[in-house]
Amino acid sequence: MPQALESAVYGLFATCALDLAVRHGVFRELTEHGPSRSAELATALGVDQDTLGRLLTLLRSLEVLAADGEGRYTVPDQARPYLDGSDARYLGGFVHHLVDSTFGRLRHLESCLTRGKAAADATRPEPFAEIYRDEEATDRFLDAMWQLSFDVSGELVEAAGLDQVHHLVDVGGAGGPFSVAALLRRPGLRATVFDLPQVAPRLQQARQRYRLGARLAFIPGDFHRDELPRGDCLAFGYILSDWTDDTCLELLRKAHRALAPGGLVLVMERLFDEDGYRPLATAAMNLSMQAETQGRHRTAAEYLALLRRAGFAGCEVRRSGREKHLVIGRRADNAHPPGRWW
C-alpha cells in the first residue's frame, strides 16, 4: 500500500490516539519529567498499562513519540512545542476541538454530498449557534482558536506594519489572540474586539492575564446584522473562510465604511496554493468548512479579488512562516465622513 494511502486509511486512529494522549497527560508527563517507560507512565498517570502501551506504540510509529534502546519514551524536539502545554504553539485544545466537535459534524458531509449543501443545511441550526450552544462548547472552541492564532499573530502584527495605527477593531476576534499580540507589541495601540456576547468572559480573562486594562475593549454585536465599530485598522482573523463569497463581500464593504480614510483591512487566513489543492492542512480544513460552516478556504488571488470588489486599494499578500497568512488592503479615499474615527 502506498504510504500516502496508508496514512489516509489509518488517520482516524492517529487523531484519536493524539487526543487521548493529550487528554490524559502523556505529553505533559514526558515534557515535565523526562523519558519514561510505559509502565512508569501508566503508574504516574493512573491509567491502564496495556491500553497505554498500545497507545504509545502507535504514537511512536507515527513519530509523534520516540523511544530509546531501553524503551523510554520521549517527545521529539520538533514536536515538543506543539505538545507542551506551556508553549504558545501548543495545539492540544485544537485537537480536542477536532475530536469533540468536528468529528461528529463530519457525518453531515454525506448529506451534503448526496443532497447538496443548501438542502442538507436547511434544518440545521446556524453554525455558530451550535458552536456557542453552552459554556463548555464555547470554551472548547475559544481554546482551539487561541491556540491556532496567538503564536502566529505576533508574526502577523509585524507583517501588517501597525506603527501608524491608533485603533484596531478585531472583527469576530473571539478571546482576542490577535488583539493581545498587537497590544503587546505596539504600546500606543488600542484594540476593540467586536464579537458575540458569549465571548466577553474569555476576553476579560485575557485583559487581566496580560494586564491590558482599558487598552483592550469589547463591543458585543453581530457582524451580520450590525455595522462595524470604527477604527483605522479592521482585522478579520479566520472569519471570512466561514462564509460565502457574497457574505464576505458584504463584510468587507462594512469594513470599508467603518475604516478611517487610509485605514487598513487585514484578512488573516489559511491560503491554498495557486494549484488549489495544497497544503494538506488547508485542504483538510476546507472539507471541515463544508460540514461546520457556510464557507471555504481560498487562494490569495481570490481574497485579493474580494478586497478590490469591496473598494480597497493597494492590496497585497504577506505570508508568515506558519499556516495563517495576511492579505491586506487599504481604504484609499480622502474624504472624511462626519464624526471621529477612534
The answer on 226 and 327 residing in a single domain is yes
Strand ranges in the chain using DSSP code E only, listed in sequence order: 66-67, 73-74, 167-171, 190-195, 216-220, 231-237, 259-269, 271-272, 298-299, 313-318, 325-330
Q: 226 and 155, same structural domain?
A: yes
Q: Please indicate, yes or no, if residue 188 is contained in any of the structural domains.
A: yes
Rounded to the nearest integer, the mean pLDDT of the chain is 95
At which residue does the C-alpha cell 462594512 appear? 254
Query: In this structure, are residues 172 and 236 in contact, taking their beta carbons and an 8 Å threshold?
Result: yes
In a domain, 34, yes or no: yes
**CATH number of the domain that residue 71 is part of:** 1.10.10.10
Query: How far apart (Å, rounded) are the C-alpha atoms in residues 269 and 271?
Result: 6
Domain boundary among 85, 101, 129: 85
Which positions ≥6 away from 242 have C-beta within 8 Å?
127, 289, 293, 294, 295
State the Cα–Cα distance between residues 168 and 282, nearest whole angstrom: 27
> Is residue 154 one of the residues assigned to a domain?
yes
Q: Are residues 172 and 248 in the same domain?
A: yes
Quick one: what percent of the chain has pLDDT higher than 90? 91
> Does pLDDT of 338 surpass 50?
no
The verdict on residue 286 lying in a domain is: no
Residue 224 belongs to a domain: yes
* pTM > 0.85: yes or no: yes
- 122 occurs within a structural domain: no
In this structure, is residue 126 part of a structural domain?
Answer: no
Q: pLDDT tens digits for 71-125?
A: 999 999 999 999 999 999 999 999 999 999 899 889 999 999 999 999 999 988 8
pLDDT-derived band of residue 335, with 50, 70 and 90 as boundaries?
very low
Residues 193, 315, single domain; the answer is yes
pLDDT digits (tens, 9 = 90+) for 138-181: 998 999 999 999 999 999 999 999 999 999 999 999 999 999 99
What span, in angstroms and rounded, lies between the C-alpha atoms of 319 and 162? Answer: 16
Domain presence at residue 211: yes
Which alpha helices (DSSP H) does 24-134 contain, by range?
Answer: 26-33, 38-45, 49-61, 80-83, 92-97, 103-105, 108-115, 117-121, 127-131
Residue 337 has pLDDT above 50, yes or no: no
Considering the domain architecture, whether residues 192 and 324 belong to the same structural domain is answered as: yes
Structural domain boundaries, residue 34:
3-85
Total tally of structural domains belonging to the chain: 2
